[in-house]
Amino acid sequence: MRFITLPLLNLGRRPLRSVLTAVGLTLAVAGFVALIGLTRGLERAWVDSFADRGTHLVGLKKGAVEILTASLDQHLAVDLRRVEGVRSVAGELTDLLTVADGQTVIVNGWQENSYLWQTLHLLSGHQPRLEYLNEAMLGHGLAEALNAKPGQEVTVAGSSFFVAGVFQQSSVMANGSLLVPLKTLQRIMNREGSVTFFNVLVDKPEDRQWLQELKDRLHLQFDDILFLETDDIAENNEIMRIFRAMAWGTSVVALTIALVVILNTLLMSVTERTRELGVLSALGWSPARILAVIICEGMILALLGGVAGALIGFFALQFLATVEPLRGFLQPAITLRQLAEICAATVLLGMVGGFYPAMRAVSIDPVKALRYE
């Protein structure tokens, strides 16, 4: 009999208990993958929406807890453009508003004639004309969800707009958004003269040292604005930090419960096999070999639960990205490498969960074990 078959046979003696343990671990890992994937997916979608525009730096209200509620004077863009090394600046007003069917969408207001409009990949129609303040553009995903085409009318926050055109970007968040001229959104939100943040293009974005020096100069000149590179914007958002903390906290609790389940299952198994373990010890099995058998049982349970949980969590994440209200806000950000790392960590969890029962097994006195009933 090969060594690996013994742990498998031991787990097969109580199939229902082994299956339930693996199922519990599967649910814990699936929840971990889904929660972490949701948080990362939201961050990734947000960062990618800036990458679509070619934005190098984002100027935000310093000290604001939530970016969408922050306001900056749109006329600061004039002063920003005068800074040496700044190529272009575009103010943007952003908010979450509801359309006629109750769906929540991202609505962006862009300054007229800003470089942002040139970054759009137009599928049909045209961009909003300056003389018409009731024209809007829809992302491809939003247009499909609303079944809207150029020339049709959509209602946003009680205001009616004619669809001027439909665009498609690489970012899920951009494809689920609605674009209007800045003045139009300012009027709807009663925020005349305000923007949420500034999109900044610079001369040497690839030169890290030069870019840091430019940021330092900008911070000195505009002390109420925080300038961040697009890859750092999600990391510095307080709401994102709260989401990350909640996801990790919930996942840690779930995985801790899974660890206790593994420990309990193996502890019960060791207690039931006290006499058998005593016989093996009497036959010359070393403590290390007995220890390895019990730990292998924990690793096998963890491997089964980890692989199943990682796959379920991955596909659940793909599904969640397509349903309301997450559609248009989430870009799944779990890779196969990360899934493999999660499975490896789960096996390690099984090893830890099996350590105490294994230590108890090797501490059994063979003489007393042979008398155990």
Instruction: Kindly state the tokens that stand for 35.
Output: 């929660």
pLDDT band at residue 14 using 50, 70 and 90 as cut-offs: confident
pLDDT band at residue 171 using 50, 70 and 90 as cut-offs: confident
Taking CA atoms, 326 is separated from 108, 266, 277, in Å, by 18, 40, 53
Answer whether 163's CB lies under 8 Å from 148's CB.
Answer: yes
> What SS3 class is residue 285?
coil
pLDDT at position 167 is: 92
pTM of the model: 0.72
Same domain, 151 and 206: yes
- Domain assignment present for residue 24? The answer is yes
Within 10 angstroms of residue 78's Cβ, the number of other Cβ atoms is 9
Residues 185, 190, 194: CA angle, nearest 5 degrees? 70
Q: Count of H helices and E strands in the chain?
A: 12, 12
The tens digit of pLDDT for each residue in 47-67 reads 777 778 888 898 888 876 667
- Domain assignment present for residue 253? The answer is yes
pLDDT at residue 373 is higher than 70: no
Share of the chain above pLDDT 70, in %: 87
Same domain, 257 and 218: no
Answer with the residue of higher pLDDT: 12 or 28: 28
DSSP string of 199-222?
EEEES-TT-HHHHHHHHHHHHHH-
**Distance, CA of 114 to CA of 283 (rounded, Å):** 83
Same domain, 67 and 203: yes
Chain center to CA of 112: 33
**Distance, CA of 222 to CA of 306 (rounded, Å):** 50
pLDDT band at residue 370 using 50, 70 and 90 as cut-offs: low
The tens digit of pLDDT for each residue in 253-264 reads 877 887 788 877
DSSP conformation class of 364: S
Residue whose entry in the numeric block shows the structure tokens 């009933």: 373
Interacting residues of 19 by C-beta distance below 8 A, sequence separation 6+: none
Same domain, 179 and 246: no
- Domain assignment present for residue 216? The answer is yes
Same domain, 261 and 308: yes
Same domain, 186 and 286: no
Q: Where are the beta strands (DSSP E) in the chain?
A: 57-61, 72-73, 86-98, 104-110, 122-125, 135-139, 153-156, 159-167, 177-181, 194-195, 197-202, 225-229
**Distance, CA of 285 to CA of 306 (rounded, Å):** 31
- Domain assignment present for residue 57? The answer is no
> What SS3 class is residue 95?
strand
Domain end (from 199, 223, 247): 223
Q: Which of 173-177, 200-204, 243-247, 325-329 has the lowest average pLDDT?
A: 325-329
Q: Which domain holds residue 347?
A: 5-45+239-371
Domain end (from 223, 256, 287): 223
Please provide residue 365's backbone torsions phi and psi, each rounded to the nearest 5 degrees: -75, 120
Same domain, 337 and 247: yes
- Domain assignment present for residue 303? The answer is yes
- Domain assignment present for residue 50? The answer is no
Same domain, 282 and 208: no
Same domain, 119 and 155: yes
**Distance, CA of 256 to CA of 154 (rounded, Å):** 49
Interacting residues of 341 by C-beta distance below 8 A, sequence separation 6+: none
pLDDT at position 217 is: 92
Q: Which of 106-115, 172-181, 355-364 has the lowest average pLDDT?
A: 355-364
Same domain, 217 and 68: yes
- Domain assignment present for residue 126? The answer is yes
Taking CA atoms, 194 is separated from 11, 16, 182, in Å, by 65, 63, 9
> Phi/psi class of residue 113: alpha, beta or left (left: φ > 0; alpha: ψ in -120 to 50)?
left
- Domain assignment present for residue 79? The answer is yes
Domain end (from 223, 252, 272): 223
Answer with the residue of higher pLDDT: 271 or 369: 271
Answer whether 138's CB lies under 8 Å from 150's CB.
Answer: no
Same domain, 313 and 268: yes
Instruction: Kindly state the tokens that stand for 141.
Output: 């995903």
The tens digit of pLDDT for each residue in 137-161 reads 998 888 888 888 898 888 887 888 8
**Distance, CA of 44 to CA of 268 (rounded, Å):** 44
Same domain, 121 and 176: yes
Counting the structural domains of the chain, the total is 2
